[in-house]
Chain A
Amino acid sequence: IAGITQAPTSQILAAGRRMTLRCTQDMRHNAMYWYRQDLGLGLRLIHYSNTAGTTGKGEVPDGYSVSRANTDDFPLTLASAVPSQTSVYFCASSEGQGANEQFFGPGTRLTVL
């Protein structure tokens, strides 16, 4: 693989279910991010990780959790999905925190019913 991959591509989920969105990068980037993108709104940061073993909260972290056990993987978990979490989710990575270009995965389209 080259770059960032996300899985699944799309998912329809019943409210109350648990869901993990997967993200893997092969660029050995230190920093990784999870965003959600909703119509009419800018990308909003959910959680980030500046390096393996550390995570931080972004602008809209409620209802989501992340882990960073190694450099390559950064899964996002919805513990109990709600309809307001219907969105397109993008994972991104950069060489480090700061003024570095962020590379984006192809996105996961999630619908919570």
Chain B
Amino acid sequence: GQNIDQPTEMTATEGAIVQINCTYQTSGFNGLFWYQQHAGEAPTFLSYNVLDGLEEKGRFSSFLSRSKGYSYLLLKELQMKDSASYLCAVMDSNYQLIWGAGTKLIIKP
């Protein structure tokens, strides 16, 4: 079957760095996405990786290792507004997104 695993919840301190991991087993691979979802709101796109390596976009970076079925999202200089759920999703061989349950990130002052 297809499976996306990520931690249920993480806590970090304002100004610090946090890494949210995602492992996946899917039928085919056409890229990995990270989305941010604030409570009660819609998911919004953060990043897309299809090749191995690190993609950096401001305070956020995303890493992919296809051979290990592994990705992480790195958030630097954490701000209170970064408190949200972070969703990992893999596009499978049918070009459909398979979603993880999300990681709720709590930022403490």
Contacts and interface: CB of A to CB of B under 8 A. Distances in A.
B96 to A, nearest CB: 6
Contact of A101 (B41, B45, B101): B45
Given A40-B101, A42-B4, A90 B91 contact: no
A86 interface: no
Interface string A36-50: 000011111100100
Contact of A42 (B31, B42, B44, B101): B101
Contacts, number: 47
Given A99-B30, A99-B91, A104 B42 contact: yes
Using C-beta atoms within 8 Å of the partner chain, give the interface range for chain A.
20 to 34
Contacts of A41: 101
B70 interface: no
A104 B44 contact: yes
Interface in A97-113: 97-99, 101-107
Contacts of B31: 99
A42 B100 contact: yes
Interface string B1-14: 00010000000000
A98 B95 CA distance: 5
Most chain-A Cβ atoms within 10 A of its Cβ — which of B33, B42, B97, B98?
Answer: B42
A58 interface: yes
B98 A48 contact: no
A37 B47 CA distance: 21
Interface of A: 40-45, 48, 58-59, 90, 97-99, 101-107
Given A43-B97, A102-B45, A106-B42, 8 more contacts: A42-B89, A43-B89, A43-B99, A44-B99, A98-B95, A99-B95, A104-B44, A106-B41
Interface of B: 4, 30-31, 33, 41-45, 48, 50, 87, 89, 91, 95-102
22 contacts: A42-B87, A42-B98, A42-B99, A42-B100, A43-B43, A45-B97, A59-B96, A90-B42, A98-B91, A98-B95, A99-B31, A99-B48, A99-B91, A99-B95, A101-B33, A101-B45, A102-B97, A103-B45, A104-B42, A104-B43, A106-B41, A107-B41
